[in-house]
């Protein structure tokens, strides 16, 4: 670090966190922007989050958060935008002037990922979301942004349906709810976003339609998933959790530094890290 330049720190928090590729992206961004900043992984559970955040000094510029911290952090924020309020999830905290400002860059990440796959603004007809957690709520916000007016969600937990409906109401989006056992019927939508963990949607691989639309499967460890592989084999457009991770990180860096890092540099760093896993 150049002499006299103050230390600036950021980190990704979660449990477990050793697998996170966020440091690869953020550190590549800092190098490209000429910033000698630090970015770490910190194992963190919700019961320790308030104490940790309360103890941060002025060197800290931001935090990236994994589940369930995206929800646990909400009471600790001084400010949150409409997207955070609608999705009730913040995967980013910008620390500025003694204030904690929450953002949800997953939404922008999903929008950009779907655009890369050919499902940009105005290109969405019918839409399906698989799952009912925080990422599913972010998917609803992203789909609303690109023109969806109605989404059908297939949930594994019945109680998640109420959360999705509340998000839909905040977004002016009609959310239809179906049980997980009927998820195969959602695969015929023009855009399908699978937000469930690795393995949960594998059984759907045998039911991919003959002319599938666009699939975003947020899994990126052990890619492609059986569903993504079958989707691609059937001629559909496929995007992965790595694509989402990339695009949401670009937005996180922009919020924390005030500057937009070069996408191609971050993509190259992410691809290299993914190949070496």
In the block, tokens 């023109």 appear at: 147
Check 70, 112, 137, 247 and give the catalytic one: 70
Distances (CA, A) of 231 to 14, 48, 186, 187, 205: 31, 41, 13, 10, 7
* HEC profile of the chain: CCCCCCCCEEEEEECCCCCCCHHHHHHHHHHHHCCCCEEEEEECCHHHHHHHHHCCCCCEEEEEECCCHHHHCHHHCCEECHHHHHHCCCCEEEEECCEEEEECHHHHHHHHHHHHCCCCCCCCCCEEEECCCHHHHHHHHHHHHCCCCEEEEEECCCCHHHHHHHHHHHHCCEEEEEEHHHHHHHHHCCEEEECCCCCCCHHHHHHCCCCCCEEEECCCCCCCCHHHHHHHHCCCEEEEHHHHHHHHHHHHHHHHHCCCCCHHHHHHHHHHHHHCC
In the block, tokens 């949401």 appear at: 248
Active site includes 141? no
Which are the catalytic amino acids?
70
């Amino acid at each position: 670090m150049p002499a006299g330049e103050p230390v600036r720190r950021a980190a990704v928090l979660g449990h477990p966190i050793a697998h996170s590729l966020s440091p690869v992206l953020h550190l590549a961004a800092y190098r490209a922007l000429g910033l000698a900043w630090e970015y770490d992984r910190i194992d963190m559970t919700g019961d320790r989050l308030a104490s940790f955040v309360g103890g941060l000094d002025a060197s800290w510029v931001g935090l990236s958060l994994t589940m369930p911290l995206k929800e646990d952090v909400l009471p600790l924020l001084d400010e949150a935008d409409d997207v955070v309020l609608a999705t009730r999830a913040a995967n980013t905290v910008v620390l500025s002037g003694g204030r904690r400002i929450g953002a949800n860059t997953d939404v922008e990440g999903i929008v950009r990922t779907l655009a890369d796959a050919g499902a940009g603004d105005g290109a969405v007809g019918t839409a399906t979301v698989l799952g009912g957690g925080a990422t599913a709520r972010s998917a609803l916000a992203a789909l609303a942004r690109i023109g969806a007016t109605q989404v059908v969600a297939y949930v594994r937990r019945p109680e998640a349906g109420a959360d999705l409906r509340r998000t839909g109401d905040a977004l002016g989006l009609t959310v239809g709810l179906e049980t997980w056992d009927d998820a195969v019927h959602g695969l015929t939508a023009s855009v399908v976003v699978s937000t469930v963990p690795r393995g949960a949607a594998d059984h759907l691989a045998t039911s991919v339609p003959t002319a599938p639309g666009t699939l975003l499967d947020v899994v990126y460890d052990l890619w492609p998933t059986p569903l993504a592989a079958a989707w691609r084999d059937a001629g559909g457009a496929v995007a992965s959790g790595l694509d989402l991770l990339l695009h949401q990180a670009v937005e996180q860096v922009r919020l924390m530094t005030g500057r937009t890092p070069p996408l191609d540099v971050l993509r190259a760093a992410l691809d290299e890290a993914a190949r070496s896993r």
